[in-house]
Chain A
């Protein structure tokens, strides 16, 4: 994304920027940057119906520019589209003020974003917004990794970018098992068909010819349990050989990386990206840094010695006690928390971040909720902290203890047995 014009008063948190999205991922940044109550001025297409004096109506499609006050955002990660709906906040010749409109932000069409904390409860250009803006307008070449996490009969084609892990396509096939007395023919046939389907799908998403022509070679990561990934790599290579596709052959030779994963589900990607062989290729990406930070947090959590805490209330208390400060205090927070439509809640998290960063001197890592590590953190409540000293019982005297727990009406004595039986012990 290009920053065309920047007029922000950082002290007051007021001002506006003119931005030009250039890549699909910019929509993700804008999804995190544009907040309710912000003013967005962008080109729009609107169908206008004019009513003549006689009562007849004429409809026409008008290309114009609207300024809306944002009410809600809708982000489609697969298509990387951002739909911002709001109320028209400025006089316009085709539509009157107060009417609703949904702006579809488009690539290569610049727009103006204005934030003002005083204006109708907006939160202005706070530190998180400025950080997001800085990240979004970073002109460095964005790393990009294609990954296929697979197992027999299931494959997930993903793209790992700097800020997102996008599941592009899920390929499923039914592969018969090897049966006694029938050899493995049906299995082999099914596997070959699965590979064919997967390859065709993958090459639709991964335009190898175009990439090689642009001298761009994003690594392709094939991860699976067993030898499925190796088999698929061989299948790719043999296809390249069979079809005489030298470009694909070269790509497979040079840029395909085979790794192990415990399953073919997308969340196994986290485990794949921890492997040293893969990390060497990704070490500089934000994703890898996020993964490492979360891994360290999980490790401390397993030790259960009171140095790692997760959950909004627990982390808030820890920050209050000054445990997330200088000398190892790390605050992990998912950017999903900042996207809250509740301005007060958003402000709370922004204040927490600012306190850790500026007052306590701790480290803050904003994890992208579109990444696998961010999703894991969201599972923990979207926020976690590594403390500088152990704290116990942060989770005590919870007011939510009376929460109803659905329990099946079963005999309590048999429960333990059933569980043991479930394990076939």
Chain B
């Protein structure tokens, strides 16, 4: 209970100089020989020591790294930081509002924020109630129940300011302690101990697994906003000397050592000033190799940057005499490797290793509810790639470099037929032992080395006996590079153990089963067979005892497989022809010109078009075959269409009159768009020429603005032309006019005979909707203007144009009428201009301007 005394002393006076600490609290336990610690430290140098990153990855700790810095090189550079992690207090969000006591803080130096913590204003808090789980107590030699009892019972322990910070430490702390503490304990054991609630380790693997899953879930769910790395020291004077800021006398250094005893992780702690004098003397006498190495490491910048943790490092190097003591006891350590030679995880028996498999992150499902399967395209691409690889591999096998090729020939001669199919996932290599498979795969890798032609074409048949081991390819370095500290301590010769690769083996895409997947009946067949069998021999099935194993059942099913009878389909004996004749189904034919259909279309369309105002003499109906081109250009054979005596489609088109354009009239161009054509032509307009012609240099008038402009250039179909005539869509590049005078819908006309702006006109319109006096919009090209039907003059006969009724109240849809239209603003409109009237989104009427006012 020395640690408890120390803690109580802290609590009492706050001065940690009350009595010397018992030296046994500093004793580092020698490696025990129980099953947990594993075999004694007999690993060969260079084989056992791995950088911390390895462990980190193995435990899935990489998830921790983004949250904090506990496992960053800080930890690696400071081997004396042997208590790094999080207390459950710190994980608690309340810790923000209940800061640690000054003293306890001063005894803990968070590894990154530690230096500023001393400057921070912190307040003493009342001791909190102890937590049941994850408690460190300084009761070496007690069992779990005793500790638990003491914990619940003794308030003195938890009221101690310093200890208070310990009692909340949970497995985070444990895990990380183990990563860094040179103690003889397997990592998995410790995890199991801690996460398993400190009970005995009969089912260690299970505990490890469950504990790790808990740990991971915690890691992912908790924001480590108060992450601390706790540095425990035992030499305050040294520290205060080395760190000018840390000059406070009450800075407490303590030593902790982890001890595994009877399944309980214990922490031995003691106020720092009780540190025995012997280690100090030893330390002063000979600076340890560790110090030297660490100082060396301090000078090496990490990633080109200066080591920001170097001051901490320098202070912390000297503060744990325990390891020095241990080192001194060790027989002449010559390298940093020896420092860690009894690190427990290096010598864990296989059966004790936690089998931690990292679940690979599956790619998300595809869009539209895809199941994550590759798309057809991707599958095709993959298949193509695979085929290419195989082909290439076959080629490569032919011209492999000599030793390997020879070796292959030597070793795999009897299986040469299977060699080409070795990479197939169909399990053709079932007869190969596992190590040979591995070799096969390794040798199958293409090596694009130059081969002499003769060697390629004429492979030498003489086998050259060479040991296969010499051609082992260098193991891939999947791990991160060792930290500065690690490389300093271990040299650059840190070698990875090849068997460790197994830990990181990702599941291969190839099925690991050696049997052919299609050998047996498919699962569907099994089910079907079982069902049919069950119905057939229900009585039998009841007799079959439950002890029948599956193989027996399968065998019997296979026998019955031939006897499967699906329910029979009954024949209805329908007279198909009569049934077909009685149906009213449409005759399905790929291409048939039917006379009736033609006449039906003709009648309907003629009726519609006549209603719309077209005269029958102007209508022509031509049947023709789109697929074969019958009657398109060539007159069909006599007997093909006896019911049609007209012309072909081409003939009908040629008979039609082309649109007459008013080429000799004056220019009229309705502007479709006003834009900046190019830097050379800052103002361009485009539109169809309704009448007349235009050429560069001509002066034109823009209406309704009544502004003149000069045509700079004329483009037709995107090419500069010397002229444009009616019917063409031209782009005119203008000059001598301000763009504000031009809008789309305006009219460009010749200056000699301009269009007049008018405010009212009479039009003859065909009504599509009810035409009543009221507001409408007038559209002409892109021109649109608010207008109104001022009065309905007359309803006209559609065929003859004779007035049928004067002053109609309303013009019905489909009727021809003469109306008077007033415009809100005067616009350039002319007689016989076609205009459209729309209202509320529908076309009300369309027609021609008859007269303007």
Q: Given contacts A263-B784, A395-B807, A419-B848, is CB(A425)–CB(B614) below 8 Å?
A: yes
Query: Chain B's nearest CB lies how many Å from the CB of A308?
Result: 9
Say yes or no: B841 contacts A262, CB within 8 Å. yes
- Among B798-816, those with CB < 8 Å from A are 798-803, 806-807, 809-810, 812, 816
Say yes or no: B784 contacts A174, CB within 8 Å. no
Task: State the CA gap A412–B801 with chains docked (Å).
Answer: 6
Q: Does B846 contact A (CB under 8 A)?
A: yes
Task: State the CA gap A312–B461 with chains docked (Å).
Answer: 120
Q: Does B772 contact A (CB under 8 A)?
A: yes
Task: State the CA gap A422–B612 with chains docked (Å).
Answer: 11
Question: Mask for B757-780, Cβ within 8 A of A = 1, else 0?
Answer: 000001011100010111101000
Q: Which residues of B contact A425 (CB under 8 A)?
A: 609, 612-614
Q: Which of these, A174, A182, A263, A270, contacts B739 with CB under 8 Å?
A: A174
Q: Given contacts A263-B777, A416-B613, is CB(A301)–CB(B675) below 8 Å?
A: no
Q: Does B47 contact A (CB under 8 A)?
A: no
Q: Does A267 contact B (CB under 8 A)?
A: yes
- Among B613-628, those with CB < 8 Å from A are 613-615, 618
Say yes or no: B798 contacts A416, CB within 8 Å. yes
Question: Mask for B790-828, Cβ within 8 A of A = 1, else 0?
Answer: 100110101111110011011010001010000010000
Q: Which residues of A contact B673 (CB under 8 A)?
A: 176-177, 179
Segment at the interface with A among B32-40, B292-300, B317-325, B740-748: B740-748
Task: State the CA gap A378–B397 with chains docked (Å).
Answer: 97
How many residues of A are in contact with the other chain, CB < 8 A?
53
Q: In chain B, what residue has the closest Cβ to A262?
A: B841
Q: Which residues of A contact B793 (CB under 8 A)?
A: 405
Q: Which of these, A301, A376, A416, contacts B615 with CB under 8 Å?
A: A416
Q: Which of these, B772, B786, B806, B841, contacts A266 with CB under 8 Å?
A: B786
Question: Mask for B814-852, Cβ within 8 A of A = 1, else 0?
Answer: 001010000010000001101100111100001110110
Query: Chain A's nearest CB lies how many Å from the CB of B717?
Result: 12
Query: Chain A's nearest CB lies how many Å from the CB of B771?
Result: 10
Q: Given contacts A186-B675, A265-B777, A267-B775, is CB(A420)–CB(B801) below 8 Å?
A: no
Say yes or no: B807 contacts A407, CB within 8 Å. no
Say yes or no: A405 contacts B847, CB within 8 Å. no
- Among A392-415, those with CB < 8 Å from B are 395, 398, 400-401, 403, 405-408, 410, 412-413, 415
Say yes or no: A419 contacts B807, CB within 8 Å. no
Q: Which residues of A contact B807 (CB under 8 A)?
A: 395, 398, 400-401, 403
Q: Which residues of B contact A314 (CB under 8 A)?
A: 809
Task: State the CA gap A408–B806 with chains docked (Å).
Answer: 17
Say yes or no: B613 contacts A379, CB within 8 Å. no
Q: Which of these, A309, A311, A419, contacts B765 with CB under 8 Å?
A: A419
Task: State the CA gap A418–B834 with chains docked (Å).
Answer: 9
How many A-B Cβ pairs are below 8 Å?
154
Query: Chain B's nearest CB lies how many Å from the CB of A193?
Result: 12
Q: Does A52 contact B (CB under 8 A)?
A: no
Q: Does A423 contact B (CB under 8 A)?
A: yes
Q: Which residues of B contact A304 (CB under 8 A)?
A: 809-810, 812
Q: Does B674 contact A (CB under 8 A)?
A: yes
Query: Chain B's nearest CB lies how many Å from the CB of A378?
Result: 9
Q: Does A310 contact B (CB under 8 A)?
A: yes
Q: Does A298 contact B (CB under 8 A)?
A: yes
Task: State the CA gap A262–B838 with chains docked (Å).
Answer: 9
Q: Does A417 contact B (CB under 8 A)?
A: yes
Question: Mask for B662-691, Cβ within 8 A of A = 1, else 0?
Answer: 000000000011111000000000000000
Task: State the CA gap A309–B810 with chains docked (Å).
Answer: 10
Task: State the CA gap A405–B618 with chains docked (Å).
Answer: 30
Q: Which residues of B contact A418 (CB under 8 A)?
A: 764, 832, 848
Q: Which residues of B contact A376 (CB under 8 A)?
A: 774-775
Q: Does A375 contact B (CB under 8 A)?
A: yes
- Among B182-196, those with CB < 8 Å from A are none
Say yes or no: B613 contacts A417, CB within 8 Å. yes
> Which of A172, A263, A271, A419 has its CB near the most chain B CB atoms (within 10 A)?
A419
Q: Which of these, A177, A379, A412, A419, contacts B675 with CB under 8 Å?
A: A177
Q: Which of these, B675, B762, B831, contacts A179 with CB under 8 Å?
A: B675
Say yes or no: B614 contacts A408, CB within 8 Å. no
Say yes or no: B775 contacts A419, CB within 8 Å. no
Question: Mask for A254-269, Cβ within 8 A of B = 1, else 0?
Answer: 0000000011011110
Say yes or no: A422 contacts B846, CB within 8 Å. yes
Q: Does A380 contact B (CB under 8 A)?
A: yes
Q: Which residues of A contact B785 (CB under 8 A)?
A: 265
Task: State the CA gap A38–B853 with chains docked (Å).
Answer: 38
Q: Does A302 contact B (CB under 8 A)?
A: yes
- Among B142-188, those with CB < 8 Å from A are none
Say yes or no: A412 contacts B800, CB within 8 Å. yes
Say yes or no: A176 contacts B674, CB within 8 Å. yes
Q: In chain B, what residue has the closest Cβ to A425?
A: B612
Task: State the CA gap A266–B824 with chains docked (Å).
Answer: 11
Q: Which of these, A379, A380, A405, A422, contacts B794 with CB under 8 Å?
A: A405
Query: Chain A's nearest CB lies how many Å from the CB of B36?
Result: 65
Q: Given contacts A186-B676, A412-B802, A416-B816, is CB(A406)–CB(B847) below 8 Å?
A: no
Task: State the CA gap A372–B794 with chains docked (Å).
Answer: 26
Q: Which residues of B contact A406 (CB under 8 A)?
A: 762, 850-851, 853
Task: State the CA gap A179–B739 with chains docked (Å).
Answer: 18
Say yes or no: A172 contacts B743, CB within 8 Å. yes
Query: Chain A's nearest CB lies how many Å from the CB of B820?
Result: 9
Say yes or no: A380 contacts B773, CB within 8 Å. yes
Q: Does B259 contact A (CB under 8 A)?
A: no
Say yes or no: B800 contacts A419, CB within 8 Å. no
Task: State the CA gap A380–B807 with chains docked (Å).
Answer: 12
- Among A335-394, those with CB < 8 Å from B are 372, 375-376, 379-381
> Which of B675, B777, B807 has its CB near the most chain A CB atoms (within 10 A)?
B675
Q: Which residues of A contact B742 (CB under 8 A)?
A: 174
Q: In chain A, what residue has the closest Cβ to B789?
A: A379
Q: Does B788 contact A (CB under 8 A)?
A: yes
Say yes or no: B806 contacts A401, CB within 8 Å. yes
Say yes or no: B801 contacts A423, CB within 8 Å. no
Say yes or no: A408 contacts B851, CB within 8 Å. yes
Task: State the CA gap A174–B764 with chains docked (Å).
Answer: 31
Task: State the CA gap A302–B614 with chains docked (Å).
Answer: 26
Task: State the CA gap A117–B87 with chains docked (Å).
Answer: 102
Query: Chain A's nearest CB lies how many Å from the CB of B391?
Result: 46
Q: In chain A, what residue has the closest Cβ to B851?
A: A406
Say yes or no: A405 contacts B615, CB within 8 Å. no
> Which of B772, B785, B809, B835 has its CB near the most chain A CB atoms (within 10 A)?
B809
Task: State the CA gap A302–B839 with chains docked (Å).
Answer: 15
Say yes or no: B810 contacts A419, CB within 8 Å. no
Q: Given contacts A174-B674, A174-B743, is CB(A407)–CB(B851) below 8 Å?
A: yes
Query: Chain B's nearest CB lies how many Å from the CB of A266?
Result: 7
Task: State the CA gap A169–B9 with chains docked (Å).
Answer: 88
Say yes or no: A419 contacts B772, CB within 8 Å. no
Q: Which residues of B contact A423 (CB under 8 A)?
A: 612-613, 766, 846
Say yes or no: B809 contacts A419, CB within 8 Å. no
Q: Which of these, A177, A271, A372, A380, contacts B672 with CB under 8 Å?
A: A177
Task: State the CA gap A271–B773 with chains docked (Å).
Answer: 16
Subset of 18 A-B contacts with CB under 8 Å: A176-B675, A182-B675, A263-B838, A265-B777, A265-B824, A270-B775, A314-B809, A379-B790, A405-B794, A405-B803, A407-B762, A412-B800, A412-B801, A413-B800, A421-B834, A423-B612, A423-B613, A423-B766
Given contacts A265-B784, A419-B846, 13 further A-B contacts (CB under 8 A): A176-B673, A262-B777, A263-B777, A263-B784, A265-B777, A301-B772, A302-B772, A376-B774, A398-B807, A407-B851, A408-B832, A422-B766, A425-B609
A-side interface residues toward B, CB under 8 Å? 153, 172, 174, 176-177, 179, 182, 186, 225, 262-263, 265-268, 270-271, 298, 301-302, 304, 309-311, 314, 372, 375-376, 379-381, 395, 398, 400-401, 403, 405-408, 410, 412-413, 415-423, 425
Return the 9 tightest CB-CB contacts between A and B, nearest first: A420-B613, A267-B775, A262-B841, A415-B801, A265-B786, A176-B675, A422-B834, A379-B773, A412-B801
